[in-house]
Copies of this chain bind each other. A is one copy, B any other.
Amino acid sequence: MENRITLKELARLLNVSISTVSKALNDSPEISPQTRKRVKELAALNHYVPNVMAQNLKNQKTRTIGVIIPDILPHFFAEALHGIESKASELGYRVIICISNESIQKEAESINTLIKGQVDGLIMSLSQETQAKMEIDHLKAISNHKVPLVLFDRVLNQIECDKVHINDSLQAEQATMELFKSGCKKIAYFSGISDTSVDDERKKGYLEAVRNHGASRKVVNFDQKNFPDQKLQDLIRNKNIDGILASDELGAILVMKSALDSGFRIPEDLSVIGFTNGIMSEHFRPALSTVDQHAEEQGRLALETMVDRIEGKLPPEPIEYRLETSIIHRKSTRNKALQPAD
């Protein structure tokens, strides 16, 4: 940072005014071709780079979008981030990332640091704690500062802003129906991400499907760090559970591992569908059938919406996108009627 050459210094060396240098560098037609050439040559020679801080201050915008996600390790968020970053880069925007670690406090801190004129807008997927406690005071700060907000995946109806997500309940209902159609009689819902909006929706969809089908319900919430193996065994053996819808990829993998380790066969004894398609689903044996949430697509759309909002291309009222999802049939379900992909 020290000793970087500035317009002022360039102007001094060239014996012209700062304005002239600035205009020449910006290819203003006001400046004669010869001067432009001279200026550019000297600038290149000295590795001149404009100071964006100064430009931003002057222009009152940063072309930078803040992104706050709960975690980066789950494949869904890594992929969504990838979508956000690549779209941003296409549109000439930069991205600042903060990770809330599922905590309200960290989320609030991130909002505060980003909001200080550092970013033109904020894209967020809410932390588990925020959704569980329904505390949204820290989010209010965003609108107080007139910074546009786009929520994706984990959204909250109470907040008025643009939203990008999938229809989780509908998808869960359809996935459950697929399990019934494939011959399952008793289906359970396993969740390791309770207290999130997406879990609520997925559970709702599952319950809806089970009710419509006149079957009995069974919801198991567990801690990702401590899978209830014994409970799963009992369910399969004593309650004849033969199908499971899992709330996320890791949950589905844990269910499968536990079942296989206990000697059950997949999909012969137990069919499994997991939400969130990721790399583990693809490579596990048997490969897991999943609801593909199009993480990257959600990210790209969220970023695009943000930019359109910033650039005033959107009507004032918030817009909400509900992406279509699809079920990827692999080896953990036994539906012969459906053509398995891979």
List the number of copies, as a whole number: 2
Chain B hits for A147, CB < 8 A: 1
CB pair A57 B57 closer than 8 Å: yes
Chain B hits for A54, CB < 8 A: 57, 117
Q: Chain B CB within 10 Å — which of A4, A53, A99, A250 has the most?
A: A53
Q: Chain B CB within 10 Å — which of A3, A72, A115, A120 has the most?
A: A72
Known: A96-B96, A116-B49. A73 touches B79 (CB 8 A): yes
CB pair A285 B283 closer than 8 Å: no
Chain B CB within 8 A of A265 CB: no
Chain B hits for A82, CB < 8 A: 72-73, 99
CB pair A47 B95 closer than 8 Å: no
CB pair B95 A97 closer than 8 Å: yes
A285 and B4 CA atoms in complex are apart in Å by 55
Residue of B nearest to A85 (CB): B99
Known: A82-B72, A85-B72, A117-B51. A60 touches B94 (CB 8 A): no
Chain B CB within 8 A of A253 CB: yes
CB pair B1 A52 closer than 8 Å: no
**Min CB–CB distance A86 → chain B (angstroms):** 7
Chain B CB within 8 A of A260 CB: yes
Chain B CB within 8 A of A279 CB: yes
Chain B CB within 8 A of A81 CB: yes
Chain B hits for A56, CB < 8 A: 53
Chain B CB within 8 A of A146 CB: yes
Chain B CB within 8 A of A144 CB: yes
CB pair A120 B53 closer than 8 Å: no
CB pair A144 B47 closer than 8 Å: yes
Q: Mark A66-95, 1 if CB is under 8 A from B, else 0.
A: 000000110100110110011001000011
Q: Mark A20-33, 1 if CB is under 8 A from B, else 0.
A: 00000000000000
A253 and B282 CA atoms in complex are apart in Å by 11
Chain B CB within 8 A of A50 CB: yes
Chain B CB within 8 A of A232 CB: no
Known: A1-B147, A78-B78. A85 touches B98 (CB 8 A): yes
A141 and B60 CA atoms in complex are apart in Å by 28
Chain B hits for A52, CB < 8 A: 116-118
Chain B CB within 8 A of A136 CB: no
Q: Chain B CB within 10 Å — which of A1, A86, A261 has the most?
A: A1
A47 and B1 CA atoms in complex are apart in Å by 32
Chain B hits for A106, CB < 8 A: 89
Chain B CB within 8 A of A145 CB: yes
Chain B CB within 8 A of A222 CB: no
CB pair A117 B4 closer than 8 Å: yes
A78 and B144 CA atoms in complex are apart in Å by 33
Chain B CB within 8 A of A317 CB: no
Chain B hits for A257, CB < 8 A: 283, 285
14 chain-A/chain-B pairs, Cβ below 8 angstroms: A1-B147, A47-B144, A47-B145, A49-B116, A51-B57, A53-B57, A73-B75, A78-B78, A86-B99, A89-B99, A95-B96, A95-B97, A254-B283, A283-B284
